[in-house]
Structure 1
Amino acid sequence: MRIIKNIVAAIALIICGNFAIAQNNHTSLLPADSAYRTGKLENGLTYYIRKAANPAGRAEFFIVHNVGSLQEEDNQRGLAHFLEHMAFNGTKNFPGKKLLNYFGSIGVKFGANINAYTSMERTVYNISAVPVQREVVLDSALLALHDWSHYISCEPAEIEAERGVVREEWRRGDDARTRMNKGIMKFQQTGSRFAERDVIGLPEIINTFSRQTLIDYYHKWYHPGLQAVIVVGDIDPDVIEKKIRARFSSIPKAVNPAKRENYTIPDNKEPIVGYFTDPETKAVSVRVTVKIPNLSQEEMQTRKAIYDEVIRNTFLEMFKVRCQVAQESQDSMFRGAVPVFGKLSYASQTFTTTALPYSAKTIFKSLRGLIEEFERVRMYGFSKEEFDQAIVRVKKGADQNYLRNRKPENRDYVSFAVDHFTRQYPIVKPEDYHKISSEYIKSITHEDVNASLPVILSDNNRVIIFSVPESDKKYLPSQEEIYKMIEEVKSSDLDRFTPVGEKKLTIRKDLPGGKILTERAVSSKELSIKHEKQLDSATEWTLSNGARVIWKEEGATKKYVSMRAFRKGGYMLPYDAKQIKIAESFLSMYTINGFNRLEMQKLGGSKSISVKPSLGYRNVEFTGSYTLKDSVEFWNLLYSYFTAVTADENQIANFKNQLLKNLNTPKGENSIFIDSVSSLKFISQPMKSKLTKEDIAAINSASLTTMYNNLFAGADGFTFVFSGPIPASKAKELIVKYIGSLEKGATVAEKQLAHKEPVKRKGEVSLRYKAKNMLSSKASVGRIYFGEVPYNAQSNMYSKFIAYILRDRYMKSIREEKGGTYHVGVTNDIMKYPNEQVEFSVDFDTDPALVDELLVIVQQEIDNFVKNGPTEKEMKEISLYLQKVYQDRKEEILWPAIIANSIKGEVSLQDTEKVFLPKVKADDIKKFAKKIFTSGNRMTFVFEPEKK
């Protein structure tokens, strides 16, 4: 075996040499999207302009600053982000809140349409979905970008007011997941400037910096030489270019500007090992990251950029399968492994595989499992058989990605320009990108992928990271143990990987078929469809086995047939709720027509077919789709989901082990709080029964298969809805053959069904939970109001207005005036079951010391709304905003979902609510709010750390 490994290593060197030579074939430049107009003013400012009309009548206005947290001095930590906040609190031409007030008055809303973000490397401001019909609006948007370039006021009073907001934004991220993720990210960037900076900054600096320190950063780094203005939309590029030159040329050019340094992340020869624990987390994982060098700026402009992506995607498909096979094996070292490619800012690409151990006790074993899979690939490479299977999935993914993105929206074109300016990424039209990637997909070989292995799975530049609860750190191996294990694996005789063969679906040619009892044409009227787009005509059949089928033919441009099938049942059926819950959890693990979970995933990857069962409180359902070339496979698969479902013993064993692990894992404070909230919120929770060890022990193949058949088998009572580019006359023979051949089955009579949705507790409910052993410094607050209203589009529209208005009012009173939180979320949820009612939820994070004071403000705003209703200004702004949203919405009409939901009585209220927009009156909203907020149904839930 040692000899073989030496030969493989030698071959790898030869291949690597050939790989390097082969790169010369990829040096031609990528075709640039010529629709962009670019230029640079004498002061150094760059601009990008592109005409686009998706959506029509709108434009995007962006200004990009090619600076971020990396440019901060030690006494400026967090000021790049703080300056971003100040841009919305007063500029030369828009003092105070005039910028937000003006754009709000034309339906361009702060948060949704006006926003900004700061990263390590760049700061980006945007005014989006701007109506372009009036020239004054275009001028105002450009004036705002102009002020953000050089004229942010940074008034002392506004700085003081914003400290609290930014402080609360920092507090918002003070939780176990964010702390650990930040720590891991910094650790991966060990030895670099990236590890020394954090966008949100340090609280001690945010609380104390002087205005001059902020101005120093501002004037040093915000100058035209590091800025780009981007305008994309339904505009005249000639007009916009003249306006940009006239507006921005007067901004002074920087004198002796500071040099913007491109920082790097140092290489490491031995793996860097990091250990991350937190008393608040229950998550256990180990990950291995390989840092991969970026292409040079010159190479990024060539076909090599696309070639490398195709190689990576193909590698990833093959490595995913290996991880899945290892996971499914009887002696598996982990219960899951997820490989992904990523980036560490602009400095490095990465390949990371994260393993999920069965428990913290086996975390070292899980790491060994990952290293073995790494080394197995390094020793032998991938086989042609693996490659042949993977390249089919890569092609399918590329084609689907192109279909999704072939018509970019205005904002997508902006993103291309942002990355071009800050990272020198090429701007390539989707059709050109797809054409080139398709050429490479057709031409690459498994040897090409194997030639990339010395880079993707390099021995150098590895980072190994363990994440466990604080209580489990005793199971973490030492660095010496890890190094020793890696060397053991490298010198061991690992078996070659045996590819999982491509199984073929059993094609049933002997099906007896069924009989059609009735056939008729149906439309929106017959099916009670309430949707702005009317169903002109579809065909409905009833079959002899009790099935009902509706077929909607769509144009030839439709590339696939889609399906929704449903039947009353689910948790309403008269079976033990625990057994239904077990079957639901096992749904993805059932064996279908001899195909286990992994084989089903491979089938779905190579064929354009899908069938997926699901169940809810009131129904069982199937969703599915297929392209015409895979029609036979789809119909056989659908038939199999009704007739050939079994439970594999190996899957059952893994499933039971995971259930036992979940049962034995002590609950964290968050989980206890959530359970407590649920118990208080609902008086009736028929589905809440928990599994016991005895329940888990009793799970077997027979019980799982029986419950699946109880839930899904048999055609009687099922309604199947299809749409696609096939006329009903041709679809008819498929329906008769496959659905008609299903047995009728024993359908539980409707009178035996029982609703089991949880019922809310009325009146005043409250819980203030003091969490023990918490590092977090924040309290999470939730306030719920609910009341009974008709389940219709009008109620939905009223509740939407109330949520938008309250959100804006809380932003002013709680965020801006009190500095009490970064964000107050107000959501509205209108529901039909078990009772028709609407629920409003007000949620925010804050300093525990401010909870009571802020809850008083929450109620004061509610009381004021009930007493006085919305203002004329609020009504106008929300109406304009929603009108713009409806105009811009490009909703794909999914007839199977629309028809199925209409028959079930689960109509999407958003489909019809916009007809009520012109009819909404302030007084109607006031009455609606009074009905809800004076009903006496109020719940308050607070989760906060126990005082030490």
Structure 2
Amino acid sequence: MKKAFIAFCLVGWGVIAVPTASAQNLSSQKIPLDPSVKTGKLKNGITYYIRKNSEPKNRAELRLAVKAGSVLETDAQQGLAHFMEHMNFNGTTNFPKNELVNFLQKTGVRFGADLNAYTGFDETVYMLPIPTDSAGLLEKGIQVLEDWAQGALLDPDEIEKERGVVLEESRMGRGAQQRMRDKFLKVILNNSRYAERLPIGKDSILKSFKPETIKAFYKDWYRPDLMAVIAVGDFDVAKVESLINQKFSSIKPPVNPKKRIRYDIPLDGSTKVAIVTDPEYPQNLVQLIYKQPNSKEKTLQDVRNNFAQDLYNAMMGQRMQELTQKANPPFLYGASQYGDFLGNLDSYTSIALAKDAGSMKTALTTLLEENVRVQKFGFTQPELDRAKKDFYNAIEEAYKERDKTKSANHVQEYLDHFLHDKPFMGAEAYFEFVKKHLDGVTLAEINGLAKKYITDKNRAVVIMGPEKSKDALPTEAEIRTLLNEAGKDVTAYVDDVVDAPLLKTEPTPGKITGEKLLDKLGVTELTLSNGVKVLLKSTDFKNDEILIKATAKGGYSLFPDERETGIFTSYLVQSGGVGPYNQTQLQKFLAGKTASAGPYLSELTEGVGGNTNPKDLETTLQLIYAYFTEPRKDADVATGILANQKAYLENIQKTLTPEKVYSDSINAVLTSNNPKRQPLKPESVDKVSLDRAFEIYKDRFADASDFVFTIVGAFKPETVKPLIEKYLGSLPSSERDDTFSHPNIFPPKGRIEKVIYKGLEPKSRVTLVSSGEYDYNPENNTQIEALQEILQIKLIEALREEESGVYGVSVSEGTDKFPTGHYRFSIGFGCAPENVDKLVKRALEEVNKIKQNGADPKDIDKFVAETRRKTEIALKTNGFWLDYLDDNTFLGDDLNEIFEQDRLLKSITVASTKAAAQQYFNDDNFIKVVLMPEKK
């Protein structure tokens, strides 16, 4: 099935009888839709999708989808589809001015993170997650959707204020990528309307359009026949259907609706070549695009046929990955796959990131050769067998999790059905269909796709590189020659497979020597005979998921003069594979299994991470054991990795982008140019030794006695104990006393201001940092988190809504416990160069208001609501508990701290925020770094 469909169709569920091929020809059967979804259409033409789903509990995901985007704009409206999206947050019938954002923040919904929208070429989608456990909130949520559909006020004053915000969004999108895109887009889109109607629009129009112009767009295209209301969540379906009827039936369809034209990208059979360069583009990228008419999934035969497409993509992806695991890889990264393109087209696209401009021909030649290889010789049966195993495993996993699927995933399915005619069978029906028909997909069928996908018609080649390397890039004539001649001498693919046990010898199990139940946490703490500790938390959040993480103190901080090798150590080790398997062979060995695990070595810690399910838990534990006891050194792969990394860093150094110069400058200021914090350079790679990396690795993983393993997910402690004794209890142990050597690098004291002049575009970035010593404890941590969120709210109001000077503002905080307590506050935003001083002044004024008066009680309420809502959902996820238990164990914090949240939140008051602001926004320790465009 098509890639986009695979991503979304699996999350629904419902019992649907899918006839077998023998009962009726699949090509004559329409695709049955999941009956758990209540669908309908109001008399005025509005479509709706409603589904009850309790993941997460007491939440609903609401969407308003409009089949109208930038492609429908007139010449005078370019950018107004997107501007209209903004205006729906700036005043509607029931929520004037910014009251909508204010109201939702009080319910715990965050602007941007939760409440959001997007505008594309063909659609605009509004997203609203809403709690359902408070009286009236669901009704309010449906009311918000109705306001977006027909209640936008489009007040001229609000339009004027929003111009600055949208222009800043446009400004922040400028740069090398945008300049290059503007050059090649018309070429690859055959001068179609899509090339002329980018959603951001034209600044000249955004600055000067009349309110009547945007009102005309709203009137023409926000209409019932082009809209859908989607509601998925923990609610009563009949109630929501009634609410939709009440709120949306009153919207009157237009008497003479404007025709909704479906624009196409024409196919003329030609091969287009675009070679574009830019002074600020640091990479060398080649894209090879084979455009094809879009294939719709209308019958069960289409669904069955698209199995082959997904299997093709998987096998091609594996081959491309193998190319980067050689001693002399042909490119830094490569990929090929078939999928949706744009408008009425699909495409088979191959891309490669070349090492440098001189390697672009090699990268393009390799892409062409791999395509010709599969065209001439096809895939092998073992490749197909493995791909089928992986495909089936993924579908089975979605089926097992069908009652634990997030509402947001379901919503995306129904959006795709309304906007793009993609079906939603549901996980149960689709799983049954896969079981019946996957085996019938033949190698000949898949190999036939290569001849369909890869042709000499409707091709496009895009070459992107740095301006200074322009002369080294291939010419159009050279590219056309390669297109015609590459691949003539290719030979068949050789499948490198090993058939051997993962472990040479079975481990001798250890014993559980201590067991403690942490009742409140629902955690069982085990102590093993080799000193290893294990925290087990059995959950029902997922039916088929187990997460593993292990951490010990040490890291490459214990090798202070070998930082470069330390940084690469775990990457080089993992890339070598384990035991008898190199990395490529290991991936093939694990086909059809959900078993991933690997080591890591950071500055202060070493450890392993894993992701599996009950069926494949033993294989995953075997992998972990093998990484401790049988790491595999692969000099060829390591050589290739280091060569690629050096080439990547050389490209960056040759063409320093404004963003890179700015981030490096901030890093240099915050770390006082400490060598242990300097960015990697090409010469850094020369210091990396594979042999020394293995010595460091073996040293850090020679003693597991100080490792704490956290295992969270779908298991019963008693059933996993034998596996833990066998694979974790047998890990090597010397019971040495380990810790880390903290580098003790923190922002310098004093006031520092720095301006960097870099960049061609008229845009600036600002970073303001306050830092100092800190008493690390739960009470202070909560105060500093509250201060961060409250200031974020205030700066969005001030800099975006009132000053119209930014698109977004970020406020972040960080606290350290080791070696001594330390905190850092950072405020960041982008803006016009001429507005830097004004906006910095306004930002500091907002900080000073909190220092003088404390936070607004309404903002404190918003922080409390957001935190409670966020935590409520997090507590029902395996990922949260894995990180929480692991982090608190490493820091030596109380594992029961999570149960103190209500008490800690009650401590946030106007007075406490005032005191915190005075303490943490320290005028004596203040850093300001500003990026300005180059002086002309």
Using a 3 Å threshold, how does the CA distance of structure 1 residues 656 and 897 change in structure 2: closer, same or farther?
closer
Using a 3 Å threshold, how does the CA distance of structure 1 residues 348 and 523 change in structure 2: closer, same or farther?
same
Residues 1:918 and 2:906 aligned together: yes
Checking the alignment, whether the CA contact within 8 Å between 1:173 and 1:179 is kept in structure 2 is no
1:688 to 677, 682, 691: 677
Q: Residues 292-303 of structure 1 correspond to what in structure 2 (within 5 A)?
A: 292-296=292-296, 300-303=297-300
2:536 to 547, 552, 561: 552
Q: Deviations over 1:812-856 (max 9, x none)?
A: 221122211111112222332343233222111100111011100
Residues 1:942 and 2:930 aligned together: yes
Q: Residues 31-42 of structure 1 correspond to what in structure 2 (within 5 A)?
A: 31-42=32-43
How far 1:722 moved relative to its partner?
A: 4.5
Residues 1:765 and 2:752 aligned together: yes
For 1:470 and 1:873, locate their aligned partners in 2 and report how far apart those are by CA, in whole Å: 52
Using a 3 Å threshold, how does the CA distance of structure 1 residues 472 and 736 change in structure 2: closer, same or farther?
same
- SS at 2:676 equivalent: coil
How far 1:498 moved relative to its partner?
A: 1.1
TM (norm. structure 1) is 0.88
Checking the alignment, whether the CA contact within 8 Å between 1:91 and 1:152 is kept in structure 2 is yes
Using a 3 Å threshold, how does the CA distance of structure 1 residues 281 and 718 change in structure 2: closer, same or farther?
same
- SS at 2:323 equivalent: helix
Using a 3 Å threshold, how does the CA distance of structure 1 residues 184 and 936 change in structure 2: closer, same or farther?
farther
Amino acid paired to 2:849:
N
How far 1:37 moved relative to its partner?
A: 2.9
- SS at 2:244 equivalent: helix
Using a 3 Å threshold, how does the CA distance of structure 1 residues 888 and 549 change in structure 2: closer, same or farther?
closer
For 1:55 and 1:900, locate their aligned partners in 2 and report how far apart those are by CA, in whole Å: 24
Checking the alignment, whether the CA contact within 8 Å between 2:390 and 2:592 is kept in structure 1 is yes
Amino acid paired to 2:518:
S
2:693 match: 704
Amino acid paired to 1:681:
L
Amino acid paired to 1:945:
P
1:809 match: 794
2:838 match: 853
1:328 to 311, 314, 325: 325
Residues 1:499 and 2:516 aligned together: no
* More divergent stretch after superposition (62-71 vs 568-577): 568-577
How far 1:81 moved relative to its partner?
A: 1.0
Checking the alignment, whether the CA contact within 8 Å between 2:528 and 2:729 is kept in structure 1 is no
1:522 match: 516
For 2:629 and 2:97, locate their aligned partners in 1 and report how far apart those are by CA, in whole Å: 68
Checking the alignment, whether the CA contact within 8 Å between 1:292 and 1:455 is kept in structure 2 is no
Q: Deviations over 1:770-813 (max 9, x none)?
A: 01xx3322101111122333333333322232222222222222
Residues 1:755 and 2:742 aligned together: yes
1:265 match: 265
Amino acid paired to 2:288:
V
Using a 3 Å threshold, how does the CA distance of structure 1 residues 945 and 384 change in structure 2: closer, same or farther?
same
How far 1:631 moved relative to its partner?
A: 5.8
Q: Residues 820-831 of structure 1 correspond to what in structure 2 (within 5 A)?
A: 820-831=805-816
Using a 3 Å threshold, how does the CA distance of structure 1 residues 738 and 92 change in structure 2: closer, same or farther?
closer
2:662 match: 673
How far 1:286 moved relative to its partner?
A: 1.0
Using a 3 Å threshold, how does the CA distance of structure 1 residues 325 and 737 change in structure 2: closer, same or farther?
same
2:472 match: 475
Amino acid paired to 1:69:
S
Query: Which stretches in structure 1 are left out of the alignment for 5+ residues?
Result: 1-20, 526-532
1:7 match: none
Using a 3 Å threshold, how does the CA distance of structure 1 residues 396 and 54 change in structure 2: closer, same or farther?
closer
2:18 match: none
Amino acid paired to 1:43:
N
1:456 match: 453
2:439 match: 442
Q: Deviations over 1:734-761 (max 9, x none)?
A: 55555555554595x548x521252221
How far 1:231 moved relative to its partner?
A: 3.2
Checking the alignment, whether the CA contact within 8 Å between 1:33 and 1:428 is kept in structure 2 is yes
1:172 match: 172
Checking the alignment, whether the CA contact within 8 Å between 2:132 and 2:235 is kept in structure 1 is no
- SS at 2:859 equivalent: helix
Q: Residues 42-81 of structure 1 correspond to what in structure 2 (within 5 A)?
A: 42-81=43-82
2:334 match: 337
Tell me the matched-pair count: 908
1:791 match: 776
1:838 to 823, 830, 836: 823
How far 1:104 moved relative to its partner?
A: 3.9
Checking the alignment, whether the CA contact within 8 Å between 1:163 and 1:819 is kept in structure 2 is yes
1:203 match: 203
Residues 1:383 and 2:371 aligned together: no
How far 1:354 moved relative to its partner?
A: 1.4
Using a 3 Å threshold, how does the CA distance of structure 1 residues 906 and 672 change in structure 2: closer, same or farther?
farther
Q: Deviations over 1:177-217 (max 9, x none)?
A: 45445655554323321111110100001011112222222
Q: Residues 221-260 of structure 1 correspond to what in structure 2 (within 5 A)?
A: 221-260=221-260
1:775 match: 760
2:606 match: 620
* More divergent stretch after superposition (357-366 vs 446-455): 446-455
Q: Deviations over 1:81-130 (max 9, x none)?
A: 11122222223343323333444444444334433221111112243214
* More divergent stretch after superposition (879-888 vs 464-473): 879-888
2:421 to 421, 424, 429: 424
Amino acid paired to 1:854:
L
Q: Deviations over 1:594-619 (max 9, x none)?
A: 32222233334444323211112222
Using a 3 Å threshold, how does the CA distance of structure 1 residues 761 and 716 change in structure 2: closer, same or farther?
same
1:311 match: 308
Checking the alignment, whether the CA contact within 8 Å between 1:31 and 1:428 is kept in structure 2 is yes
Q: What do you get for the CA RMSD once the two structures are aligned?
A: 3.2
How far 1:638 moved relative to its partner?
A: 3.1
2:92 match: 91
Checking the alignment, whether the CA contact within 8 Å between 1:46 and 1:227 is kept in structure 2 is yes
How far 1:921 moved relative to its partner?
A: 2.0
Checking the alignment, whether the CA contact within 8 Å between 2:498 and 2:581 is kept in structure 1 is no
Amino acid paired to 1:223:
R
Using a 3 Å threshold, how does the CA distance of structure 1 residues 311 and 23 change in structure 2: closer, same or farther?
farther
Residues 1:535 and 2:515 aligned together: no
For 1:230 and 1:256, locate their aligned partners in 2 and report how far apart those are by CA, in whole Å: 27
Checking the alignment, whether the CA contact within 8 Å between 1:686 and 1:757 is kept in structure 2 is no
2:868 to 883, 889, 903: 883
- SS at 1:452 equivalent: helix
How far 1:80 moved relative to its partner?
A: 0.9
Q: Residues 336-415 of structure 1 correspond to what in structure 2 (within 5 A)?
A: 336-403=333-400, 406-415=403-412
* More divergent stretch after superposition (373-382 vs 874-883): 874-883
Residues 1:28 and 2:29 aligned together: yes
Amino acid paired to 2:867:
L
Q: Residues 626-637 of structure 1 correspond to what in structure 2 (within 5 A)?
A: 626-627=612-613, 630=616, 633-637=619-623
Using a 3 Å threshold, how does the CA distance of structure 1 residues 401 and 363 change in structure 2: closer, same or farther?
farther
Query: Which stretches in structure 2 are left out of the alignment for 5+ residues?
Result: 1-21
User: Percentage identity across aligned positions?
Assistant: 28
How far 1:400 moved relative to its partner?
A: 3.7
Using a 3 Å threshold, how does the CA distance of structure 1 residues 872 and 314 change in structure 2: closer, same or farther?
same
Amino acid paired to 1:648:
D
* More divergent stretch after superposition (818-827 vs 473-482): 473-482
1:593 match: 579
Amino acid paired to 2:755:
R
1:189 match: 189
Using a 3 Å threshold, how does the CA distance of structure 1 residues 632 and 642 change in structure 2: closer, same or farther?
same
Checking the alignment, whether the CA contact within 8 Å between 1:132 and 1:235 is kept in structure 2 is no
Using a 3 Å threshold, how does the CA distance of structure 1 residues 192 and 502 change in structure 2: closer, same or farther?
farther
TM (norm. structure 2) is 0.89
